[in-house]
A = this chain, B = another copy of it.
Amino acid sequence: MAGNTFGKLFRVTTWGESHGTAVGAVIDGCPPGIPLSTEDIKRDMERRRPGKGGTTSPRKEPDKVEILSGIFEGKTTGTPISLVIYNKDAQSNAYKHLENIFRPGHGDITYLKKYGIRDHRGGGRASARETAARVAAGAVARQILGLENIIVSAYTIVLGGIEATKREFPEILDNRLYCPDNEAAAHMEERIAEVRRQGDSLGGIVEVRATGSLAGLGEPVFEKLDAALAQALMSIGAVKGVEIGAGFAAAGMLGSENNDAITPTGFETNNAGGILAGIANGDDIIARVAVKPIPSIGLEQNTLNLDREPVKIKIGGRHDISAIPRIIPVCEAMVCLTLADHFLRQKAIEN
Protein backbone atom coordinates (compact mmCIF):
# COMPACT_ATOMS: atom_id res chain seq x y z
CA MET A 1 0.00 0.00 0.00
CA ALA A 2 1.58 3.17 -1.22
CA GLY A 3 1.83 6.14 1.09
CA ASN A 4 0.69 9.17 -0.86
CA THR A 5 -2.47 9.76 1.15
CA PHE A 6 -2.50 11.60 4.45
CA GLY A 7 -5.40 11.66 6.91
CA LYS A 8 -8.39 9.46 7.57
CA LEU A 9 -11.40 11.76 7.33
CA PHE A 10 -9.80 14.80 5.78
CA ARG A 11 -7.79 12.84 3.25
CA VAL A 12 -5.16 14.36 1.02
CA THR A 13 -3.49 12.46 -1.80
CA THR A 14 -0.59 14.23 -3.45
CA TRP A 15 0.97 13.37 -6.78
CA GLY A 16 3.61 14.70 -9.13
CA GLU A 17 7.30 14.82 -9.86
CA SER A 18 9.69 17.73 -9.73
CA HIS A 19 10.14 17.87 -13.47
CA GLY A 20 6.92 16.26 -14.60
CA THR A 21 3.96 18.12 -16.05
CA ALA A 22 2.48 19.18 -12.75
CA VAL A 23 2.13 18.44 -9.07
CA GLY A 24 -1.19 18.34 -7.30
CA ALA A 25 -3.42 17.11 -4.54
CA VAL A 26 -6.88 15.65 -4.23
CA ILE A 27 -8.71 16.31 -0.99
CA ASP A 28 -11.48 13.89 -0.14
CA GLY A 29 -13.58 14.46 2.94
CA CYS A 30 -13.63 18.24 3.13
CA PRO A 31 -16.97 19.17 4.68
CA PRO A 32 -19.39 21.10 2.49
CA GLY A 33 -20.04 24.79 2.88
CA ILE A 34 -16.46 25.90 3.62
CA PRO A 35 -15.61 29.16 1.83
CA LEU A 36 -12.66 28.55 -0.49
CA SER A 37 -11.01 30.35 -3.35
CA THR A 38 -7.57 30.29 -4.91
CA GLU A 39 -6.85 33.48 -2.94
CA ASP A 40 -7.11 31.51 0.29
CA ILE A 41 -4.37 29.22 -0.93
CA LYS A 42 -2.13 31.88 -2.43
CA ARG A 43 -0.66 33.30 0.77
CA ASP A 44 0.77 29.98 1.90
CA MET A 45 2.04 29.20 -1.58
CA GLU A 46 3.85 32.52 -1.68
CA ARG A 47 5.77 31.70 1.46
CA ARG A 48 6.86 28.34 0.11
CA ARG A 49 7.78 29.71 -3.29
CA PRO A 50 11.37 29.41 -4.52
CA GLY A 51 13.32 32.47 -5.51
CA LYS A 52 12.29 34.67 -2.66
CA GLY A 53 15.74 35.70 -1.50
CA GLY A 54 19.31 34.90 -0.75
CA THR A 55 18.78 31.59 0.96
CA THR A 56 16.52 30.27 -1.63
CA SER A 57 16.68 28.45 -4.91
CA PRO A 58 16.40 30.57 -8.04
CA ARG A 59 13.92 28.21 -9.71
CA LYS A 60 11.12 30.51 -10.77
CA GLU A 61 7.73 28.95 -10.36
CA PRO A 62 4.59 31.05 -10.26
CA ASP A 63 3.00 28.20 -8.28
CA LYS A 64 -0.45 29.12 -9.41
CA VAL A 65 -2.91 26.68 -7.88
CA GLU A 66 -5.96 25.77 -9.95
CA ILE A 67 -9.03 24.27 -8.28
CA LEU A 68 -10.49 21.77 -10.74
CA SER A 69 -13.38 20.39 -8.71
CA GLY A 70 -15.30 20.38 -5.46
CA ILE A 71 -16.18 24.08 -5.33
CA PHE A 72 -19.48 25.66 -6.27
CA GLU A 73 -20.19 29.36 -5.98
CA GLY A 74 -17.22 29.93 -3.67
CA LYS A 75 -17.89 27.09 -1.28
CA THR A 76 -16.85 23.50 -0.93
CA THR A 77 -19.54 21.00 -1.88
CA GLY A 78 -18.37 17.92 0.04
CA THR A 79 -17.05 16.32 -3.14
CA PRO A 80 -13.33 15.87 -3.85
CA ILE A 81 -11.28 19.01 -4.33
CA SER A 82 -8.66 18.63 -7.02
CA LEU A 83 -5.77 21.08 -6.89
CA VAL A 84 -3.18 21.29 -9.64
CA ILE A 85 0.00 23.30 -9.98
CA TYR A 86 1.63 23.08 -13.37
CA ASN A 87 5.42 23.01 -13.46
CA LYS A 88 6.67 25.89 -15.54
CA ASP A 89 10.36 26.26 -14.91
CA ALA A 90 11.58 22.67 -14.72
CA GLN A 91 15.07 22.72 -16.25
CA SER A 92 15.66 19.03 -16.59
CA ASN A 93 18.83 19.58 -18.56
CA ALA A 94 20.44 20.99 -15.46
CA TYR A 95 20.10 17.52 -14.01
CA LYS A 96 21.24 15.62 -17.09
CA HIS A 97 24.79 15.19 -15.74
CA LEU A 98 23.37 13.68 -12.53
CA GLU A 99 21.38 11.02 -14.36
CA ASN A 100 23.93 8.30 -13.73
CA ILE A 101 25.07 9.26 -10.27
CA PHE A 102 23.70 8.89 -6.75
CA ARG A 103 23.77 12.23 -4.95
CA PRO A 104 24.76 11.72 -1.27
CA GLY A 105 22.02 12.57 1.16
CA HIS A 106 19.34 12.28 -1.52
CA GLY A 107 16.87 9.55 -2.36
CA ASP A 108 18.50 8.70 -5.68
CA ILE A 109 19.87 5.41 -4.44
CA THR A 110 16.88 4.38 -2.35
CA TYR A 111 14.25 5.11 -4.99
CA LEU A 112 16.17 2.89 -7.36
CA LYS A 113 16.49 0.14 -4.74
CA LYS A 114 12.82 0.28 -3.96
CA TYR A 115 11.24 0.68 -7.36
CA GLY A 116 13.92 -0.56 -9.78
CA ILE A 117 13.19 2.53 -11.90
CA ARG A 118 13.75 6.18 -11.15
CA ASP A 119 12.71 9.51 -12.58
CA HIS A 120 16.06 11.20 -12.00
CA ARG A 121 14.96 14.61 -13.23
CA GLY A 122 15.31 17.01 -10.35
CA GLY A 123 14.81 14.30 -7.78
CA GLY A 124 11.51 13.18 -9.28
CA ARG A 125 8.97 12.40 -6.61
CA ALA A 126 11.55 12.84 -3.82
CA SER A 127 12.00 16.50 -4.66
CA ALA A 128 10.84 19.20 -2.27
CA ARG A 129 8.70 20.34 -5.19
CA GLU A 130 6.18 17.77 -3.95
CA THR A 131 5.56 19.92 -0.90
CA ALA A 132 3.86 22.55 -3.06
CA ALA A 133 0.89 20.21 -3.17
CA ARG A 134 0.99 19.78 0.60
CA VAL A 135 0.95 23.52 1.14
CA ALA A 136 -1.99 23.96 -1.22
CA ALA A 137 -3.96 21.25 0.56
CA GLY A 138 -2.90 22.60 3.94
CA ALA A 139 -4.44 25.93 3.05
CA VAL A 140 -7.81 24.21 2.64
CA ALA A 141 -7.39 22.57 6.04
CA ARG A 142 -6.56 25.98 7.46
CA GLN A 143 -9.93 27.28 6.25
CA ILE A 144 -11.69 24.63 8.32
CA LEU A 145 -9.54 25.29 11.37
CA GLY A 146 -10.15 29.02 11.04
CA LEU A 147 -13.87 28.44 11.55
CA GLU A 148 -12.96 26.67 14.80
CA ASN A 149 -10.65 29.44 15.89
CA ILE A 150 -7.57 27.26 15.58
CA ILE A 151 -4.41 29.02 14.43
CA VAL A 152 -1.21 27.28 13.36
CA SER A 153 2.12 29.04 12.95
CA ALA A 154 5.69 27.90 12.48
CA TYR A 155 8.91 29.84 12.88
CA THR A 156 12.65 29.40 12.94
CA ILE A 157 14.24 28.97 16.34
CA VAL A 158 17.67 27.68 15.32
CA LEU A 159 19.55 28.10 12.05
CA GLY A 160 23.17 27.19 11.48
CA GLY A 161 23.67 26.84 15.20
CA ILE A 162 22.31 30.33 15.98
CA GLU A 163 19.44 30.17 18.47
CA ALA A 164 16.49 32.49 18.87
CA THR A 165 16.58 33.39 22.54
CA LYS A 166 13.07 34.82 22.65
CA ARG A 167 9.63 34.25 21.19
CA GLU A 168 8.56 37.69 20.08
CA PHE A 169 5.93 36.50 17.67
CA PRO A 170 5.34 39.85 15.93
CA GLU A 171 9.00 39.80 14.87
CA ILE A 172 8.31 36.69 12.78
CA LEU A 173 7.01 38.95 10.07
CA ASP A 174 9.96 41.32 10.30
CA ASN A 175 12.56 39.01 8.87
CA ARG A 176 12.92 36.72 5.92
CA LEU A 177 13.56 33.70 8.15
CA TYR A 178 10.30 33.88 10.11
CA CYS A 179 12.33 34.07 13.30
CA PRO A 180 10.66 35.46 16.46
CA ASP A 181 13.94 37.18 17.38
CA ASN A 182 15.15 39.80 14.91
CA GLU A 183 18.60 39.95 16.39
CA ALA A 184 19.11 36.21 16.10
CA ALA A 185 17.73 36.38 12.58
CA ALA A 186 20.43 38.87 11.62
CA HIS A 187 23.10 36.51 12.92
CA MET A 188 21.52 33.62 11.08
CA GLU A 189 21.74 35.61 7.85
CA GLU A 190 25.41 36.23 8.42
CA ARG A 191 25.96 32.53 8.96
CA ILE A 192 24.05 31.76 5.77
CA ALA A 193 26.20 34.16 3.76
CA GLU A 194 29.35 32.65 5.17
CA VAL A 195 28.31 29.07 4.43
CA ARG A 196 27.16 29.99 0.95
CA ARG A 197 30.66 31.25 0.19
CA GLN A 198 32.01 27.90 1.37
CA GLY A 199 29.72 25.99 -0.96
CA ASP A 200 28.18 24.24 2.01
CA SER A 201 24.70 24.16 3.56
CA LEU A 202 22.96 24.52 6.93
CA GLY A 203 20.35 22.86 9.12
CA GLY A 204 18.17 24.25 11.85
CA ILE A 205 15.14 23.83 14.03
CA VAL A 206 11.58 24.96 13.36
CA GLU A 207 8.93 25.25 16.04
CA VAL A 208 5.24 24.88 15.26
CA ARG A 209 2.54 26.16 17.55
CA ALA A 210 -1.21 25.62 17.39
CA THR A 211 -3.66 27.58 19.51
CA GLY A 212 -7.41 27.54 19.93
CA SER A 213 -10.16 25.01 20.51
CA LEU A 214 -7.98 21.97 20.48
CA ALA A 215 -9.05 20.10 23.61
CA GLY A 216 -10.12 16.54 22.90
CA LEU A 217 -8.36 16.08 19.57
CA GLY A 218 -6.32 12.89 19.19
CA GLU A 219 -7.16 9.21 18.74
CA PRO A 220 -5.53 6.80 21.20
CA VAL A 221 -3.72 4.58 21.10
CA PHE A 222 -1.85 4.53 17.78
CA GLU A 223 -3.13 7.78 16.36
CA LYS A 224 -2.62 9.90 19.40
CA LEU A 225 -2.30 13.52 18.42
CA ASP A 226 1.44 13.56 19.13
CA ALA A 227 1.93 10.36 17.13
CA ALA A 228 -0.04 11.81 14.23
CA LEU A 229 1.98 15.03 14.35
CA ALA A 230 5.21 13.07 14.50
CA GLN A 231 4.29 11.19 11.35
CA ALA A 232 3.09 14.35 9.65
CA LEU A 233 6.24 16.33 10.36
CA MET A 234 8.73 13.50 9.89
CA SER A 235 7.23 12.91 6.45
CA ILE A 236 8.75 16.22 5.32
CA GLY A 237 11.92 15.53 3.38
CA ALA A 238 14.59 17.27 5.44
CA VAL A 239 13.20 16.49 8.90
CA LYS A 240 15.23 14.10 11.08
CA GLY A 241 13.60 14.62 14.47
CA VAL A 242 10.32 15.66 16.06
CA GLU A 243 9.63 16.55 19.65
CA ILE A 244 6.54 17.67 21.53
CA GLY A 245 6.60 20.16 24.42
CA ALA A 246 9.73 19.65 26.51
CA GLY A 247 10.67 16.87 24.11
CA PHE A 248 14.19 15.50 24.50
CA ALA A 249 14.74 17.84 27.44
CA ALA A 250 12.05 15.90 29.31
CA ALA A 251 14.40 12.92 29.29
CA GLY A 252 16.64 14.82 31.71
CA MET A 253 13.92 16.11 34.02
CA LEU A 254 12.52 14.81 37.27
CA GLY A 255 8.85 13.97 37.34
CA SER A 256 8.28 16.85 39.70
CA GLU A 257 9.85 19.22 37.16
CA ASN A 258 8.18 17.83 34.09
CA ASN A 259 4.60 17.42 35.31
CA ASP A 260 2.38 20.38 34.47
CA ALA A 261 0.40 21.27 37.59
CA ILE A 262 -3.30 21.81 36.94
CA THR A 263 -5.02 24.93 38.28
CA PRO A 264 -8.51 26.34 37.88
CA THR A 265 -7.16 28.71 35.24
CA GLY A 266 -5.23 26.11 33.31
CA PHE A 267 -1.89 24.34 33.37
CA GLU A 268 0.93 26.07 35.24
CA THR A 269 3.52 25.02 32.69
CA ASN A 270 3.39 23.38 29.27
CA ASN A 271 6.04 20.69 29.23
CA ALA A 272 3.42 18.42 27.74
CA GLY A 273 3.27 20.62 24.64
CA GLY A 274 -0.49 20.64 24.89
CA ILE A 275 -0.96 16.88 24.66
CA LEU A 276 -1.62 14.37 27.47
CA ALA A 277 -2.00 10.68 26.76
CA GLY A 278 -2.25 11.52 23.09
CA ILE A 279 -5.18 13.91 23.44
CA ALA A 280 -4.99 17.71 23.26
CA ASN A 281 -5.47 19.22 26.70
CA GLY A 282 -6.50 22.64 25.41
CA ASP A 283 -3.16 24.32 26.00
CA ASP A 284 -1.05 25.41 23.01
CA ILE A 285 0.32 22.51 21.03
CA ILE A 286 4.06 22.91 20.55
CA ALA A 287 6.20 20.75 18.31
CA ARG A 288 9.76 21.18 17.11
CA VAL A 289 11.42 19.64 14.09
CA ALA A 290 15.09 19.11 13.37
CA VAL A 291 15.89 20.11 9.80
CA LYS A 292 19.01 18.62 8.29
CA PRO A 293 21.27 20.69 6.04
CA ILE A 294 20.43 20.65 2.32
CA PRO A 295 22.33 17.67 0.89
CA SER A 296 23.08 19.38 -2.43
CA ILE A 297 26.37 21.20 -1.85
CA GLY A 298 29.07 22.65 -4.05
CA LEU A 299 31.87 20.90 -2.20
CA GLU A 300 33.29 17.70 -3.56
CA GLN A 301 31.79 14.47 -2.22
CA ASN A 302 32.46 10.77 -2.66
CA THR A 303 29.72 8.69 -4.19
CA LEU A 304 28.93 6.02 -6.80
CA ASN A 305 27.61 6.02 -10.31
CA LEU A 306 24.93 3.66 -11.61
CA ASP A 307 27.61 1.06 -12.29
CA ARG A 308 28.52 1.21 -8.62
CA GLU A 309 31.91 2.74 -9.38
CA PRO A 310 33.31 5.40 -7.04
CA VAL A 311 33.11 8.94 -8.44
CA LYS A 312 33.45 12.49 -7.13
CA ILE A 313 30.54 14.88 -7.30
CA LYS A 314 30.09 18.65 -6.91
CA ILE A 315 26.52 19.82 -7.14
CA GLY A 316 25.92 23.20 -8.76
CA GLY A 317 22.52 24.21 -10.02
CA ARG A 318 19.69 25.96 -8.27
CA HIS A 319 19.78 24.98 -4.63
CA ASP A 320 18.91 26.49 -1.31
CA ILE A 321 21.51 26.83 1.46
CA SER A 322 18.94 25.70 4.00
CA ALA A 323 15.49 24.16 3.83
CA ILE A 324 14.60 26.95 6.22
CA PRO A 325 12.65 29.19 5.67
CA ARG A 326 10.83 27.49 2.80
CA ILE A 327 10.04 24.50 4.99
CA ILE A 328 8.05 26.70 7.37
CA PRO A 329 4.76 26.78 5.44
CA VAL A 330 5.21 23.06 4.81
CA CYS A 331 5.42 22.41 8.56
CA GLU A 332 2.33 24.54 9.07
CA ALA A 333 0.53 22.69 6.29
CA MET A 334 1.25 19.29 7.81
CA VAL A 335 0.03 20.43 11.22
CA CYS A 336 -3.10 21.97 9.67
CA LEU A 337 -3.82 18.73 7.80
CA THR A 338 -3.38 16.73 10.99
CA LEU A 339 -5.61 18.96 13.07
CA ALA A 340 -8.35 19.22 10.44
CA ASP A 341 -8.41 15.44 10.18
CA HIS A 342 -8.61 14.99 13.94
CA PHE A 343 -11.23 17.68 14.24
CA LEU A 344 -13.52 15.73 11.90
CA ARG A 345 -12.73 12.50 13.69
CA GLN A 346 -13.74 14.04 16.98
CA LYS A 347 -16.96 15.39 15.45
CA ALA A 348 -17.95 11.89 14.41
CA ILE A 349 -18.11 10.63 18.00
CA GLU A 350 -19.30 13.71 19.85
CA ASN A 351 -22.83 14.23 20.97
B256 adjacent to A200 (CB under 8 Å): yes
The verdict on A290 contacting B2 (CB below 8 Å), with A226-B234, A295-B255 known, is no
- CA–CA, A304 to B276, complex, Å? 15
Most buried by B among A26, A119, A261, A345: A26
Q: Which residues of B contact A205 (CB under 8 A)?
A: 248, 251
A250 adjacent to B303 (CB under 8 Å): no
Closest chain B residue, CB of each to CB of A249: B290
A53 at the interface (CB under 8 A from B): no
Most buried by B among A11, A116, A249: A116
B15 adjacent to A2 (CB under 8 Å): no
> Which one of B216, B235, B255, B345 contacts A113 once the chains associate, using CB atoms below 8 Å?
B216
Q: Which residues of B contact A119 (CB under 8 A)?
A: 72, 77, 79
A234 adjacent to B230 (CB under 8 Å): yes
Segment of A39-47, A55-63, A177-185, A236-244 in the binding face: A236-244
Q: What's the number of copies of this chain in the assembled complex?
A: 4
- CA–CA, A235 to B225, complex, Å? 9
Q: Determine how close the nearest CB of chain B comes to the CB of A10; give it in whole angstroms.
A: 9
Closest chain B residue, CB of each to CB of A133: B221
B15 adjacent to A204 (CB under 8 Å): no
> Which one of B222, B232, B302 contacts A6 once the chains associate, using CB atoms below 8 Å?
B222
- CA–CA, A92 to B26, complex, Å? 24
Q: Which residues of B contact A5 (CB under 8 A)?
A: 5, 11, 13, 28, 222
Tell me the count of chain A residues lying within 8 A, CB to CB, of chain B: 152
The verdict on A110 contacting B221 (CB below 8 Å), with A13-B13, A231-B227, A256-B297 known, is no
Q: Determine how close the nearest CB of chain B comes to the CB of A115; give it in whole angstroms.
A: 4
Closest chain B residue, CB of each to CB of A324: B251
A224 adjacent to B216 (CB under 8 Å): no
Q: Which residues of B contact A109 (CB under 8 A)?
A: 262, 276, 281
Question: In the complex, which residues 264-323 of chain A have their Cβ closer than 8 Å to any Cβ of chain B?
Answer: 264, 268, 271-273, 275-282, 290-297, 299, 301-304, 308-310
Could you name 5 residue pairs across A and B whose Cβ atoms are closer than 8 Å?
A: A2-B9, A3-B223, A110-B280, A261-B301, A262-B304
